């Protein structure tokens, strides 16, 4: 009799455990479905909390770990995302979706060296999507500025050019690999009643690489009010390992007739989230004993085949402070060098060198301007940009006039 009771108790315990486990699994699946729905509604914190509850119940759910990593990455929290990727890799290094997410996260983060390393790990673990590995390899070489390696990778696997996306990247890196660029620029400003006579501005520059960095010496020539001036200047772009870069500029007027005696600039650029770039910097001008300091920065956003950017300039000088703004939009074709552009501006941008006069008075006057641009590839590597615009500008306080402008830029790559 005692033996029968023991058997009966064991059966009851087994039934209860089975029922509990079934209930727990149903509960886990319900939580996971809820987390997926919450993420689709961009309720990311709630989605993460539900997934963490699942992992408390079952610490081996590598699919949930990868999902949490994705949710963190969508918010730009890449360190947290990669922590969960590491956990999932320890549990199941052969899980395909692990590498789908891992490669994307490293690409979004801009960690291109680690991306190349992870591509090797994926191959070692028989990741089946070879096209994704090829695409990510090429994007990593492009991000690192190792354009020749990207070109060799494609040309050694020529069938990759059957892909529209890879073919587009191939065109880009072919151009980027041409590291020396000679540029000639011409602009003319025409005024109502031909008063004053047209203003002309020309510059020639030549950009070349110093390691990964770029130096661009430039010579500017301006003719207006029956006189001319020359300005010698140089731009320098310093590229950092994380993809950020620093822009610096210095220029000096040769005759002090039309250009300011000295001009300088500095600005730090960095990626923001997945498709955005931002910067923060300043400009300095010195002319006729006047010192002008300008705070600036920009926000740029890429979406679909478009780019939208906003840049303010806050001018600080002894004669008073002013604010000017510039809004740019570009619609790209089959290459980043083929695009239509529209620029809307209020005030006089200090980066429009032809608008700078030796007294710096224009920086404190109002202007309303728009400009239409067309940039196109000429041949295989070179480009031509044509622009036309209109401005309603204050040329002396409280007095306005109409101004019409044309610009031509040609770039030859070597």
pLDDT for res 291: 87
Q: Pick the more confident residue, 101 or 23.
A: 101
CA 88/CA 92 separation, integer angstroms: 6
For residues 359 and 253, give the distance between their C-alpha atoms in angstroms, rounded to a whole number: 13
Tokens of 124: 């070692």
- 85: helix, strand or coil: helix
Q: Tokens 């994704």 appear where?
A: 132
What is the pLDDT, as a whole number, of residue 23?
A: 40
> What pLDDT does 220 receive?
96
Closest CA to 400 of 203, 192, 137, 158: 192
With a cut of 50, say whether residue 399 has pLDDT above it.
yes
pLDDT at 359: 67
* Annotation: CATH topology of 2-128: 1.25.40
Write down how long the chain is.
Answer: 414
Measured CA to CA, the distance from residue 54 to residue 362 in angstroms comes to 64
Is the pLDDT at 16 greater than 50, yes or no?
no
More confident residue, 123 or 350: 123
Residue 404 half-sphere exposure toward CB, CA atoms < 13 A = 7
CA angle (135 as vertex; 41, 112 as ends), nearest 5: 80
Q: Which tokens is 170 given?
A: 């191939």
**How many Cβ atoms from other residues are within 10 Å of residue 60's Cβ?**
12
d(CA 197, CA 210): 42
Distance CA 178, CA 411 (A): 11
For residue 111, pLDDT beyond 70: yes
What confidence category does residue 355 fall into, taking pLDDT thresholds of 50, 70 and 90? Answer: low
Q: How far apart are CA 364 and CA 347, in angstroms?
A: 8
Identify the three-state secondary structure at position 149: helix
Q: What is the pLDDT of residue 243?
A: 76
Q: What is the mean pLDDT of residues 304-327?
A: 90
> Are 357 and 339 within 8 A, CB to CB?
no
Question: What whole-number distance in Å separates Cα of residue 89 and Cα of residue 103?
Answer: 13
Q: What is the pLDDT of residues 51-79, one digit of tens each?
A: 998 888 888 899 999 999 999 999 999 99
Is residue 10 predicted with pLDDT exceeding 50?
no
User: Cβ contacts of residue 333 below 8 Å, gap of 6+?
Assistant: 305, 339
Report residue 260: phi and psi, to 5°. Answer: -65, 155
Q: What is the CATH number of domain 182-413?
A: 2.40.160.40
pLDDT, mean of residues 150-163 = 91
Give the domain ranges of the chain: 2-128, 182-413
pLDDT at 14: 42
What's residue 354's pLDDT?
62
Determine the average pLDDT of the residues in 301-330: 91
CB 222 within 8 A of CB 201: yes
What span, in angstroms and rounded, lies between the C-alpha atoms of 405 and 199?
A: 9
Q: What is the mean pLDDT of residues 143-155?
A: 91
Q: What is the pLDDT of residue 31?
A: 86
Residue 362's pLDDT is 77
Listed residue (267, 258, 317) closest to 292, CA to CA: 317
Give the distance from CA 297 to its chain's centroid: 14
Mean pLDDT of 12-28: 49
pLDDT value for 295: 96
Q: What is the pLDDT of residue 401?
A: 94
Query: What local confidence, expressed as pLDDT, does residue 33 receive?
Result: 87
| Angle made by CA atoms 248, 249, 250, in degrees to the nearest 5 | 140
Contacts of 36 (CB under 8 A, 6+ apart): 47, 67
**How much is the average pLDDT of 320-324?**
86
Q: Which of 16-20, 198-202, 308-312, 371-375 has the lowest mean pLDDT?
A: 16-20
Question: Has residue 264 got a pLDDT over 50?
Answer: yes
Taking the alpha carbons at both ends of the chain, their separation in whole angstroms is 98
């Amino acid at each position: 009799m005692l033996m029968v009771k023991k058997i009966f108790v064991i059966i009851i315990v087994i039934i209860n455990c089975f029922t509990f486990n079934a209930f727990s699994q149903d509960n886990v699946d319900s939580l996971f479905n809820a987390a997926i729905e919450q993420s689709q509604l961009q309720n990311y914190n709630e989605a993460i909390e539900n997934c963490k509850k699942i992992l408390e119940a079952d610490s081996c759910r590598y699919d949930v770990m990868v999902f949490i990593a994705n949710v963190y990455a969508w918010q730009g929290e890449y360190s947290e995302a990669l922590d969960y990727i590491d956990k999932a890799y320890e549990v199941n290094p052969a899980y395909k979706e692990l590498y789908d997410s891992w490669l994307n996260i490293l690409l979004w983060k801009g960690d291109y060296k680690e991306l190349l390393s992870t591509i090797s790990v994926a191959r070692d673990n028989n990741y089946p999507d070879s096209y994704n590995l090829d695409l990510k390899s090429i994007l990593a070489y492009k991000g690192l500025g190792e354009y020749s390696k990207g070109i060799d990778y494609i040309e050694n696997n020529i069938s990759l050019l059957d892909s529209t996306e890879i073919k587009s990247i191939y065109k880009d890196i072919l151009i980027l690999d041409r590291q020396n660029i000679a540029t000639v620029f011409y602009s003319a400003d025409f005024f109502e009643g031909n008063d004053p006579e047209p203003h002309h501005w020309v510059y020639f520059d030549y950009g070349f690489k110093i390691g990964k960095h770029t130096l661009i010496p430039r010579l500017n020539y301006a003719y207006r009010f029956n006189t001319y001036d020359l300005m010698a200047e140089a731009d320098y772009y310093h590229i950092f390992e994380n993809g950020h870069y620093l822009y610096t500029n210095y220029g000096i007027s040769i005759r002090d007739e039309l250009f300011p005696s000295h001009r300088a600039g500095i600005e730090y650029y960095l990626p923001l989230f997945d498709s955005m770039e931002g910067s923060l910097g300043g400009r300095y001008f010195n002319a006729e004993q006047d010192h002008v300091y300008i705070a600036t920065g920009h926000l740029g956003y890429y979406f679909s085949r478009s780019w939208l950017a906003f840049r303010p300039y806050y001018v600080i000088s002894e004669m008073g402070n002013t604010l000017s703004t510039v809004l740019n939009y570009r619609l790209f074709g089959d290459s980043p060098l083929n695009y239509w552009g529209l620029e809307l501006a209020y005030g006089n941008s200090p980066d429009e060198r032809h608008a700078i006069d030796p007294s710096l008075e224009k920086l404190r006057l109002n202007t309303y301007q728009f400009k239409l641009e067309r940039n196109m590839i000429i041949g295989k590597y070179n480009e031509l940009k044509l622009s036309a615009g209109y401005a309603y500008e204050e040329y002396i306080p409280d007095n306005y006039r109409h101004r019409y402008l044309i610009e031509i830029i040609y770039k030859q790559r070597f």
